[in-house]
Amino acid sequence: ETAEKAGCESFMLKEIHEQADAVAETIADRVADRDRIDLGDLGAIDDAFLRAARRVVVVACGTSYHAGLIGRYAIERWARVPVEMDIASEYRYRDPVVGPGDLVIGISQSGETADTLAAMRLARARGAKVLAIVNVMGSQATRDADGVLFTRAGLEIGVAATKTFVAQVAAMYLLALRLAELRGTLEPARLSELIGELKLIPHRIAALLERGDAEIRAIAARHRDARFFLYLGRHVGLPVALEGALKLKEISYSATDAYAAGEMKHGPIALLDEATPVVCVATDAPVLYKLISNVQEVRARGAHVIAVATEGNGEIGAHADDVIRVPATDWMLAPLLAIVPLQLLAYHVARLRGLDVDQPRNLAKTVTVE
Ligand code: G6P
């Protein structure tokens, strides 16, 4: 087992360090030509269907749902197709309005999650075309779908998903760009610029990880006894906040809440006191100045602000107690970088508490029952 961990103290840490490869493998031949996306054979989901689809619906559970949320922003912004999101266990019981002309995407690293499979089957029975985004070849989801887009993260053993998440997010970006290309909703120059940035993401993740995690470990040490952490984000930063909060709660057993920063005044602000760490996803974005004003409100309550920000952005420093920097990229792609320090933060809080990060209590890697 030690050999399998490649010198790492846990599978989770090893898998965090495999994320540059997970993204590189997932995009590989699909972005070989800088001017176009090649998704290969998606079975019955052909170009004509993708060009005309009236709507996209994404169903998933857990971390896969968070990957879908990021995909929604990308598909709507770049391809101008409306996207509906649902938790698979909710979707399957709400008698959804779905049918021919709809593209339903089931995201699942295992391809075996009972609720996601049921949601996909329901949509298919009602005439929608179903695309599975999965990490396991031959899994049930691949048999229940009209087409499959594989993530190529490799086997993931840690119960808390890490490298499969970044691979799913990369797959959603690819699909969004392909839809935009087919529908002519992005200028060709903008399309190739985004493809070029996506191709650089594995290098940027590697650079981020090579810097080491001493800084994040020090932040984790300061908050190792905190009973509650609040996570805030806006736009594509929101799903990153949701995923960062999920990681921390899964492996450290701290209570967490993740909120759209603009909603903070409508509830979570009541929870803040001087002991509360507030993790803000503050990477460069057109809404950053809005987020900063939310951060100022947090600070005014005495809470301790930990910000994830873009290298070179001087603004956030004045408003945060700790700033963790990630490399610059196109702001829509920033989630692929911003999630990495949040995984490491969760990891170190859990380790400092002496917990088993690979097999947290009560959780299963694959949930094959309802
Ligand atoms: C379990 C796992 C999570 C995962 C979720 C959905 O809860 O512990 O890591 O995100 O199931 O799994 P799936 O295989 O469908 O992505």
Cα-Cα-Cα-Cα torsion 45, 48, 53, 57, nearest 10 degrees, comes to: 20
Q: Answer yes or no: is the C-beta of 62 below 6 A from any ligand 1 atom.
A: yes
| CA 64 / ligand 1 centre spacing (Å) | 7
pLDDT for the residue numbered 60? 98
| CA 141 / ligand 1 centre spacing (Å) | 13
State pLDDT tens for residues 226-254.
999 999 999 999 999 999 999 999 999 99
Q: Answer yes or no: is the C-beta of 135 below 6 A from any ligand 1 atom.
A: no
State pLDDT tens for residues 38-50.
999 999 999 999 9
The question of whether 365 is a catalytic residue gets the answer yes
Cα-Cα-Cα-Cα torsion 217, 219, 222, 225, nearest 10 degrees, comes to: -80
State pLDDT tens for residues 188-216.
999 999 999 999 999 999 999 999 999 99
* Mean predicted confidence (pLDDT) in 87-104: 97
Ligand 1, atom 5, residue with closest C-alpha: 62
* Mean predicted confidence (pLDDT) in 305-329: 95
- Predicted-assembly ipTM surpassing the 0.95 threshold: no
Banded pLDDT at 3 (limits 50, 70, 90)? low
| CA 251 / ligand 1 centre spacing (Å) | 14
Is residue 29 scored above 90 in pLDDT?
yes
Phi, psi angles (nearest 5°) of residue 86: -150, 150
Atom of ligand 1 nearest to the CA of 159: 8
CA distance 214 to 15: 18
Which amino acid, 311?
A: E
- Picking from 108, 63, 87, 58, the residue whose alpha carbon sits closest to that of residue 244 is 63
